[in-house]
């Protein structure tokens, strides 16, 4: 089985060398929640603002379940607001079905239902904030079929949560909701020194300064800041971050 999840080296936004996946409280909760959702063959929603680690957490946890349980994960992402027709075609590709996609919706639906009933699978739907009621309803239709053996993990911004909560028929079927939030100031001091060697010996006051001025508890912003700080240290030969280097890095983020 070939994994459809992106490779580990792409986990961080800038593909930063030497960056670690840090076991935050949110990641630990996601690991438990995703495992419980798969055990129940249920649906869950990971939601929160951009850059707080939702997709990374889902990828890390699902790779582990692929490795330890042999769970087959089919990853689906949409760039724009899709229709049910687009969902059908994306699933056809993700499931690796042979031949040409059927022309008629009823025939297409039967093919997908039969395939999803053949073996247990987890569908991970990234960028789910781009889905609308029609497409969420289509995933519900597939999941509601008694013969299918699927779990579904929706990963998206606040828009995904809003659409799901607006429709009782949809929201009542979500087994677990998990909201991702920004790192707290205390978590920054605990987590960031483990995230990358650049910050190992940094003064905690400088870490707090960097978070207050630029990163604001957002992992993607910390990723960008780390890349710039790594460049600054290499160019200046200084042993650790300081306020001057931090301000230089901030200027690149403005």
Mean pLDDT score of the chain, rounded to an integer?
92
Q: Binning pLDDT at 50, 70 and 90, where does residue 12 land?
A: low
Q: Using CA atoms, how far apart are residues 159 and 154, in angstroms rounded to an integer?
A: 12
The sign of the dihedral angle between the CA atoms of 144, 146, 148, 149 is positive
Task: Name the residue among 49, 67, 91, 92 with its Cα closest to residue 181.
Answer: 49
Label residue 207 left, alpha or beta by phi (over 0 means left) and psi (-120 to 50 means alpha). Answer: alpha
Look at residue 129 in the predicted model and tell me its pLDDT. Answer: 87
Look at residue 242 in the predicted model and tell me its pLDDT. Answer: 97
Determine the average pLDDT of the residues in 78-96.
89
Q: Which residue has the tokens 């790192």?
A: 183
What are the Cα distances from residue 139, in Å, to 109, 136, 144, 196, 228?
Answer: 11, 5, 9, 39, 41
Q: What is the pLDDT of residues 28-86, one digit of tens each?
A: 999 999 999 999 999 999 999 999 999 999 999 999 999 988 889 999 987 777 899 99
The tokens describing 250, both together, are 């901030």
Q: Using CA atoms, how far apart are residues 250 and 158, in angstroms rounded to an integer?
A: 27
Look at residue 162 in the predicted model and tell me its pLDDT. Answer: 87
Q: What is the pLDDT of residues 99-146, one digit of tens each?
A: 999 999 999 999 999 999 999 999 999 988 888 888 999 999 999 999
pTM, to two decimals = 0.91
């Amino acid at each position: 089985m070939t994994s459809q999840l992106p490779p580990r080296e792409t986990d961080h936004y800038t593909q930063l060398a030497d960056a670690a996946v840090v076991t935050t409280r949110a990641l630990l909760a996601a690991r438990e929640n995703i495992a419980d959702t798969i055990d129940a063959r249920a649906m869950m929603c990971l939601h929160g603002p951009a850059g707080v680690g939702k997709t990374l957490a889902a990828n890390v946890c699902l790779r582990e379940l692929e490795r330890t349980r042999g769970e087959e994960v089919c990853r689906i992402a949409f760039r724009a607001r899709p229709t049910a027709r687009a969902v059908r075609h994306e699933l056809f590709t993700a499931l690796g079905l042979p031949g040409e996609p059927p022309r008629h919706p009823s025939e297409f639906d039967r093919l997908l239902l039969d395939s999803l009933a053949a073996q247990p699978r987890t569908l991970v739907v990234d960028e789910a904030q781009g889905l609308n009621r029609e497409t969420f309803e289509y995933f519900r239709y597939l999941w509601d079929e008694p013969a299918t053996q699927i779990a579904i993990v929706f990963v998206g911004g606040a828009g995904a949560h809003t659409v799901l909560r607006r429709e009782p028929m949809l929201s009542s079927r979500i087994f677990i909701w998990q909201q991702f939030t920004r790192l707290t100031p205390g978590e920054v001091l605990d987590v960031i020194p483990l995230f990358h060697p650049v910050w190992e010996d940094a003064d905690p006051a400088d870490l707090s300064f960097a978070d207050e001025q630029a990163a604001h508890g957002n992992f993607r912003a910390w990723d960008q800041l780390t890349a710039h700080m790594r460049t600054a240290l290499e160019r200046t030969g200084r042993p650790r971050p300081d306020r001057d280097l931090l301000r230089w890095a901030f200027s690149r983020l403005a």
